């Protein structure tokens, strides 16, 4: 049973993942701080390059299975045209202004 993105507990995470699922790159970056960072499987990545490759140019889509830590730690089924579908873990850091300043993702 999945958790609908619009039902996620944390509003910043809800905005970010809503942008992923709607394919809205502008909304995605608006949900991030200007200096946001990310890591994939424990390695820091260039955020803009990773997002374009793994989400927007490959039609990424996320279906959340569980949430913890007030909605800032998720297990989700993620799929895109490059890798297919995989179980992933996501952890988000939210800045005081309500935008995501860092996220970690990787296989769960």
In this structure, what CATH number is given to the domain that contains residue 19? 3.10.450.50
Residue 53 sits in which domain range?
A: 5-107
Chain center to CA of 89? 10
Q: What number of CA atoms fall less than 13 Å from residue 15's CA on the CB side?
A: 14
The span from the CA of 85 to the CA of 98, in Å, is: 30
pTM, two decimal places? 0.95
Nearest to 54 by CA among 2, 106, 14, 108: 106
pLDDT tens by residue, 8-62: 999 999 999 999 999 999 999 999 999 999 999 999 999 999 999 999 999 999 9
Q: How many domains does the chain have?
A: 1
DSSP 8-state code for residue 47: H
Q: Which residue has the tokens 């850091």?
A: 93
């Amino acid at each position: 049973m999945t958790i609908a993105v619009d039902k996620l507990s944390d509003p910043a995470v809800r905005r970010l993942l809503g942008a992923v699922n709607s394919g809205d790159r502008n909304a995605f970056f608006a949900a991030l701080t200007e200096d946001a960072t990310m890591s994939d499987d424990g390695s820091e990545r260039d955020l803009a390059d990773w997002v374009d490759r793994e989400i927007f140019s490959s039609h990424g889509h996320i279906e959340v299975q569980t949430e913890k830590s007030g909605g800032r730690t998720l297990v989700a089924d993620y799929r895109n045209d490059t890798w297919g579908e995989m179980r992933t873990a996501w952890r988000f850091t939210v800045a005081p202004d309500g935008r995501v300043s860092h996220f970690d993702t990787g296989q769960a």
